[in-house]
Structure 1
Amino acid sequence: MLSSLFIVWRESVEAMLIIGILYAWLKSNPQGAVGLRALWGGVVAGIALAGLLGWTMLAVQGELAGEALEWFQTAMLFLAALLIVQMVLWMQKHGRHMRQGLERELAQASEKLGVLGVAVVAALAVAREGAETVIFLYGMQMDDPAGSAIAFGAGVLLAGITAWIVNRGLGMLNYRNFFRVSGLLLLLFAVALLAAGTDRLIGMGALPPLVDPLWDTSLLLDDSSPSGALLSAFTGYRARPSLMLAIVYVVFWLAVLRVQRRLKRNA
């Protein structure tokens, strides 16, 4: 549940910071109270869209059984991992200019569509963060809806405190360091989801294990023990990994590091 709590906290902080940026821009804009009402309307619409996605996923799951359900859940694991990687790399490339980009989008939308444009920008921003959160939670806690609900509530509460600290500029949290450290943790979560999806494909016979196990570190740390299970949830650790899983690990990190180096060169 800790990994899910972290995901909700990280995504909610980003959503709240985005709302704060839009709010500050509107406060200094002649549109005044009308624009702020549109902003909050957009926020509500974005949350509703994310909720609709969550309901749709649960409804689809309820209609599936057996092998079809296995494939659906496995696909959601890979989708969640892909979205996490995309989000981290996007923030690495655009994070430093996020405020300027949002303000530019809001100014253009407001000029073309008036207060409706304000609502649309807010709704899309919140819906994106909410949709990512819904998919992450589904991938991490498919069989534990109660745990997802607890993680969601605690994560949103912690995010509210964090966003307040950042917006107050109290110096307790450096914005750039926050996204750097949280980005690394998110990549660890992504590879954990990727490992879970790979294990499922191997178990379904869709992928060959090649060599199984490749090594055995269960005497040092068994992934079925409490500490090993926690490490597995956060990093994808396996005490007895197959060769196929080891290849997935290596390819994942090589690909991520290559893209990160390219982003740094082009920064």
Structure 2
Amino acid sequence: MGAPLFIVWRESVEALLVIGILYAWLRRENLLLLTKQLWIGTALGLLLAGLLAVAFWVAGSWFAGSGGEWFFTIMMFVASLLILQMVIWMHRHGSGMKKHLEQEAAESLHKSGGGFGILILAMLAVAREGSETVVFLAGIGAQQKGTSIGLFILGGVVGLLLALLTFWLLQKCSKIIAWKWFFLISEFLLLLIGGGLMISAFDKAAAQISDYDLPEWLFNFMDNALWSTSWLVPDNSTLTGLTGYHAEPSLMQVSVILLYWLCAILLCNISFTKNPSTK
């Protein structure tokens, strides 16, 4: 429940921020008559994300056996990389997101000569956030296979309610709780989940290829434990799902998580260097 709750919470807050920016721009420009197009675009964006979710569900139900395992492995891998890409994008463009959205809204309105441009802009923005959420949840679902679907859905519902509350609080208390800190903290937690997904993807891939005749060093790389911290923090499905923690990690698992965080740190620092205004 924890990872789905956090993913839905975080992505919903970002989607609400996008809608809020567009609505505030329409009000400032005395274009409130176009709010209908804004809400239609928002609904269409949610519909597109819903269709993607159905497509993933159908695809997952079609695959069975080894093919299904590889499908879920790829889903976790893609979700992990998408989280990394999203965090890097936010570091590079987050501070200018409001200005960029307003410029796009003005250009869309000018080109379309009506509210159609606003509708498309809202649809694409919401569809992007919704699609990211679907991919993340698909990866987490593959990682936590066997978890009660009821708990998974409950986590999503609670996450959405918390997102509405968080957005309201950040809007009302922006001088006390800055958006910058919300994004920094949530991005760190997203990277924890992304690293956990990457480890799970490699674990599942290792399980698939272990049936083949492989060199002994490769088996040792994938399976032999480097140390044990089970005396301090034993393996826990929730902790593993959120962070990729293993009480007895192999060299493969340690290498994967170190490489993931190294890429995140280096690429985010490059983003800061190219965009000093985001500091």
TM-score by length of 1: 0.93
| Residue type of the alignment partner of 1:180 | L
| Residue type of the alignment partner of 1:202 | A
Matches within 5 A, 1:136-151: 136-142=136-142, 143=145, 144=147, 145-151=149-155
Partners of 1:17 and 1:163 within 8 A in 2: yes
Q: 2 CA distance for matches of 1:160 and 1:56? A: 27
Aligned to 1:202: 206
Residue 26 (structure 2) pairs with residue 18 (structure 1): no
Q: 2 CA distance for matches of 1:140 and 1:147? A: 13
Aligned to 1:222: 234
Closer, same or farther: CA 230–61 of 1 in aligned 2, 3 Å: closer
Task: Give the 3-state SS of the residue equivalent to 2:209 in structure 1.
Answer: coil
Aligned to 1:69: 68
Q: 2 CA distance for matches of 1:215 and 1:19? A: 48
- Please report how far the alpha carbon of residue 262 of structure 1 lies from its aligned counterpart in structure 2 after TM superposition: 1.2
Aligned to 1:2: 2
Residue 144 (structure 2) pairs with residue 134 (structure 1): no
Q: 2 CA distance for matches of 1:170 and 1:249? A: 35
Closer, same or farther: CA 197–216 of 1 in aligned 2, 3 Å: same
CA-to-partner distance for each residue in 1:108-143, whole Å, 9 max, x for gaps?
A: 111112211101110011111111111111211243
Partners of 1:22 and 1:106 within 8 A in 2: yes
Task: Give the 3-state SS of the residue equivalent to 1:202 in structure 2.
Answer: helix
Partners of 1:188 and 1:234 within 8 A in 2: yes
Relative to structure 2, which stretch is displaced further, 161-170 or 49-58?
Answer: 161-170
Aligned to 2:32: 32
Task: Give the 3-state SS of the residue equivalent to 1:121 in structure 2.
Answer: helix
Q: 1 CA distance for matches of 2:107 and 2:134? A: 29
- Please report how far the alpha carbon of residue 172 of structure 1 lies from its aligned counterpart in structure 2 after TM superposition: 4.7
Partners of 1:46 and 1:122 within 8 A in 2: yes
Match of 2:262 among 239, 254, 260: 254
| Residue type of the alignment partner of 2:81 | L
Partners of 1:209 and 1:243 within 8 A in 2: no
Residue 170 (structure 2) pairs with residue 166 (structure 1): yes
- Please report how far the alpha carbon of residue 148 of structure 1 lies from its aligned counterpart in structure 2 after TM superposition: 2.3
Relative to structure 2, which stretch is displaced further, 149-158 or 202-211?
Answer: 202-211
Partners of 1:210 and 1:244 within 8 A in 2: no
Relative to structure 2, which stretch is displaced further, 75-84 or 214-223?
Answer: 214-223
Relative to structure 2, which stretch is displaced further, 249-258 or 177-186?
Answer: 249-258
Aligned to 1:179: 183
Closer, same or farther: CA 214–32 of 1 in aligned 2, 3 Å: same
Matches within 5 A, 1:87-126: 87-113=86-112, 114-126=114-126
Task: Give the 3-state SS of the residue equivalent to 1:222 in structure 2.
Answer: coil
Q: 1 CA distance for matches of 2:115 and 2:138? A: 34
| Residue type of the alignment partner of 1:3 | A
Taking only aligned residues, the RMSD between alpha carbons, in angstroms, comes to 1.6
Q: 2 CA distance for matches of 1:209 and 1:105? A: 52
- Please report how far the alpha carbon of residue 39 of structure 1 lies from its aligned counterpart in structure 2 after TM superposition: 0.2
- Please report how far the alpha carbon of residue 210 of structure 1 lies from its aligned counterpart in structure 2 after TM superposition: 3.4
Q: 2 CA distance for matches of 1:256 and 1:247? A: 14
Partners of 1:8 and 1:152 within 8 A in 2: yes
Task: Give the 3-state SS of the residue equivalent to 2:220 in structure 1.
Answer: coil
Aligned to 2:51: 52
Task: Give the 3-state SS of the residue equivalent to 1:259 in structure 2.
Answer: helix
Partners of 1:216 and 1:239 within 8 A in 2: yes
Q: 1 CA distance for matches of 2:129 and 2:3? A: 17
Partners of 1:77 and 1:197 within 8 A in 2: yes
Task: Give the 3-state SS of the residue equivalent to 1:141 in structure 2.
Answer: helix
Relative to structure 2, which stretch is displaced further, 143-152 or 180-189?
Answer: 143-152
Equivalent pairs, count:
262
**Identity over aligned residues, as a percent?**
40
Q: 2 CA distance for matches of 1:172 and 1:148? A: 33
Residue 251 (structure 2) pairs with residue 236 (structure 1): no
Relative to structure 2, which stretch is displaced further, 128-137 or 210-219?
Answer: 210-219
